[in-house]
Amino acid sequence: MDTNNLIINLQDISFGYPGSPPVLDKLSLKFFRYDRIGLMGPNGSGKTTLFHIIMGLLKHTSGSMEIFGKPVTKEKEFDEVRRKIGLLFQDADDQLFSPTVLEDVAFGPLNLGMSRDEAVDIAKRTLESLDLAGFEDRVTYKLSGGEKRLVSLATILAMEPEILLLDEPTAGLDDKTKARLISILSNLDLSFILISHEIDFLFEITDSIYTMENKRIVSDKEAHLHQHIHSHPHGLYTHKHK
């Protein structure tokens, strides 16, 4: 792949909280445009930390980081990163802080310097594209878990990012909302890195799956499909295997 499309280039990134063993140790990652990567790993293996380092919310202790071909270290340099990369937080309650849905979705565009009308316009269009038309005046804390998740996604998409970092977007969602999220994500013309514990979900919408092991990322380019034979205590209920 050509270097023009190299969007995120992490080299030997280490990070640790003071007084505890490092969370990331010499982690390297190359992320190209049009990549759709799934990221798996046990709890506490540093997946979320990695996202926060990319967004500049946490500062890595050593290593080099280039995003969109430019090294980023200073707070100011992350402005562009945050404009072009959208991070979906694990907990939608963290993301939705405005009184109403419309205000929350318009928050990002307004920060980017759009006028009020433009921001409202793009917020409405984004909501519509996610089948959330009519949600504009809903109060954010009164939404259901699934609705909160989709609105959170809208708040990020409204900023028209080039890349999404999705931190366990399916956590706590029912099958119906999950299916909706899958269809939204696979129809988006965006590259993304997706953290999830659900292998089925990752198979469905990503091209490659990486795992976090020993504080680093292990790429598993060819995901091997294999068969399981197992008994079902709940075999009565219809379900799907990938």
Partner 1 sequence: MMIEEISGSDSFIYHLDPRIKIIIAFLFSAMVAVSNRFVVLIAALAVGIIILFSAGIQIKEVFKRLIPVNTLLIFLWLFLPFTFAGEHLFSIGSLTGTREGVLLAFRITIKSNAIMLMLIALTASTPIFTIGHAMHQLGMPKKLVQLFFFTYRYLHVIYKEYARLVNSMKIRGFKPKTDLHTYKSYAHLVGMLLVRGFDRSQRVHNAMICRGFRGKLYSLSSFSISRADVIAFILMAGFILMLGILEWTQTT
Residues that bind partner 1 (CB under 8 A): 52, 55, 57, 79, 82-83, 86-87, 89, 91, 93-95, 97-100, 102-103, 106-108, 110-112, 116, 119-120, 139-142, 155-156, 159
Give the residue with the Cβ less far from partner 1, 26 or 125.
125
Give the residue with the Cβ less far from partner 1, 67 or 159.
159
Give the residue with the Cβ less far from partner 1, 58 or 223.
58
Reference 185, options 158, 157, 143, 208; nearest CA is 157
How near is the Cβ of 171 to partner 1 at its closest, in Å?
A: 15
**C-alpha 170, offset from chain centre:** 11
How near is the Cβ of 33 to partner 1 at its closest, in Å?
A: 20
104: helix, coil or strand?
A: helix
> ∠147-150-151 over CA atoms, to 5°?
85
How near is the Cβ of 231 to partner 1 at its closest, in Å?
A: 33
Contact 164, 156 (CB under 8 A): yes
Give the residue with the Cβ less far from partner 1, 111 or 214.
111
CA distance 196 to 166: 9
* Beta strands 85-88; 163-167: pairing state: parallel
CA distance 167 to 91: 9
Give the residue with the Cβ less far from partner 1, 169 or 209.
169
How near is the Cβ of 72 to partner 1 at its closest, in Å?
A: 14
Give the residue with the Cβ less far from partner 1, 143 or 202.
143
CA distance 166 to 174: 18
- The residues with which 1 forms a beta bridge, in sequence order, are none
How near is the Cβ of 103 to partner 1 at its closest, in Å?
A: 5
How near is the Cβ of 40 to partner 1 at its closest, in Å?
A: 23
CA distance 154 to 88: 10
